[in-house]
Amino acid sequence: MVRASRALMSIVEEQAADERAWVGSGIQHRNLAPASLVEQAIQRGEGALSSTGALVFQTGQYTGRSPEDKFIVREPSVETEIDWGKVNRPFDPARFDALLDRVMAHLEDREVWIQDAFGGTDPAHRLPIRVVCERAYHALFARQLFVKASPDELAEHSPEFTIIAAPDFHAIPERDGTRSEVFILLNFARRIVLIGGTLYAGEIKKSVFSILNTLLPGRGVLPMHCSTNVGQAGDVALFFGLSGTGKTTLSADPTRGLIGDDEHGWSDDGVFNFEGGCYAKCIRLDPKSEPEIFAAIKFGTVLENVILDPSSREADYADASLTENTRAAYPIEFIANHVPSGRAGHPKHVVFLTCDAFGVLPPLSRLTPEQAMYHFLSGYTAKVAGTERGLGAEPSAVFSTCFGAPFMTLPPRRYADLLGQKLREHQAGAWLLNTGWTGGGFGQGQRISLPHTRALVDAIMNNRLAGVDYRVDPIFGLESPTSCPGVPGKILDPRAAWADPATYDTQAHKLAARFIENFQKFAGVDPAIAAAGPQGVDQ
């Protein structure tokens, strides 16, 4: 196993151009182009081509992230920085080293695929990374999702972190100290992420996000789980939200330039994408309502767990027999109106997306700065079935701090303070947009239609709500417009959309009580922020 450990060090810590070889006995493939990776994946039986040329593969048992199997190695460099707890679980350094040796021994004689890239489009803040895989399609995923290095940059590439994806290695919890056969281990001292036991490619993507969430706040950069686009006048909009709330769909607007669909940083110079691609949910994908995403599914795109017709090879996006969490990974240049630089100025609008499974929040609310901070810290939404292991057939109402708690490694106040500072400095407007249910909760009401949601977003971006009347919700204290072009008035008033207003009141009070209970963990926050949520609700 010593030889295997040295093999890893030659990849992780190599600095000189003449030290770029894997010293194991297996075949290595470095920085192959998408065509070669697709060809090798098919030859190896990893996937198949769809009728549009996308590479389709199945992730087997694990069709979503495994958050309970993610750990951070507890060592001096991060001991006092990490917000240790249920999300950021500690892992013993000695056990990490032992597991690392076993994984590298597993890879020693195997074919491996290596991709060098960056996390971040801003040269001042980007992170050089290396992804080492034992599956060709994982290399293609990394190639399409991360920021590509130019030929000159590849010649000088010196990774600061290496992500090792070994899905065919399964941990033994009693021996390795993991929770299950799956493990996602971040080691900041050794600059390594170790992933095993799962084929789900999203673990690779989100591990880099977790690294950036740890490193960037210390540089005054706010890492954000949001999509971003920009209008012709340079007006930048941010869309915060968890998976399934509409980040990718709403940012893919043909009238605005797409900066990115999921992860960004907000620096002193403006916003920048962490990625070079998009990772869109494609369950029930409709070419009429989401034409940009539909057109991006072509040769070079990776489709996860999408079912193909055996004869025509056409994708059946309505088929959720494997999972609701079907995905399409493609480079951002597959979106016609993308912003090539992946950067833009400071935001004019900040939109928090929530999928309210109770059907009581207004479709749109204008937020004061204090309300913006309250809802950023609360991060209320409903997780959509299939996004993670352990979710049932129905959405589960949760509070995910910063609209991305599973990926935030530092105490929430670090991110919230940065957001508040930037909102005030750049005078950005803030909104709460509900993409969930109306006229009743899940199973009784209806999901707010995408055309109505798009009309609300369009009104925000084009300043069509400045002169309309607003009503104040007596339970949540939220200001909601009473009219909006293209949206029925009944939709805008959630209580009026219910057949029985008394039932609405009961459900609204229950949800408000949950907000109050959840916010108790933020003791010591500015009293003005604490007072910006529901008050005096019977629990």
Residues with catalytic annotation? 65, 206, 225, 243, 247-248, 262, 327
Helix, strand or coil, per DSSP, at residue 475: coil
User: How many Å apart are CA 344 and CA 342, to the nearest integer?
Assistant: 7
User: How many Å apart are CA 47 and CA 63, to the nearest integer?
Assistant: 15
| Long-range CB contact pairs, 392-399, < 8 A, 24+ | 394/357, 394/442, 394/443, 395/355, 395/357, 395/442, 396/357, 397/357, 397/358, 397/511, 397/514, 399/514, 399/515, 399/518
Handedness of CA 392, 393, 399, 403 (dihedral sign): positive
Please provide residue 448's backbone torsions phi and psi, each rounded to the nearest 5 degrees: -55, 130
* Residue 253 vs residues 242, 319, 334, 451: alpha-carbon distances, Å: 19, 26, 14, 12
Query: Distance of alpha carbon 450 from its chain centroid, rounded?
Result: 20
User: How many Å apart are CA 405 and CA 18, to the nearest integer?
Assistant: 41
> How many CA atoms, within 13 angstroms, populate the side-chain half-sphere of residue 335?
33
For residue 188 the two structure tokens come to 């900041």
For residue 82 the two structure tokens come to 């990490």
User: How many Å apart are CA 362 and CA 435, to the nearest integer?
Assistant: 10
Please provide residue 165's backbone torsions phi and psi, each rounded to the nearest 5 degrees: -110, 110
**Residues 302/330, Cβ–Cβ less than 8 Å:** yes
**What single-letter DSSP state applies at residue 433?**
E
Handedness of CA 66, 137, 386, 409 (dihedral sign): positive
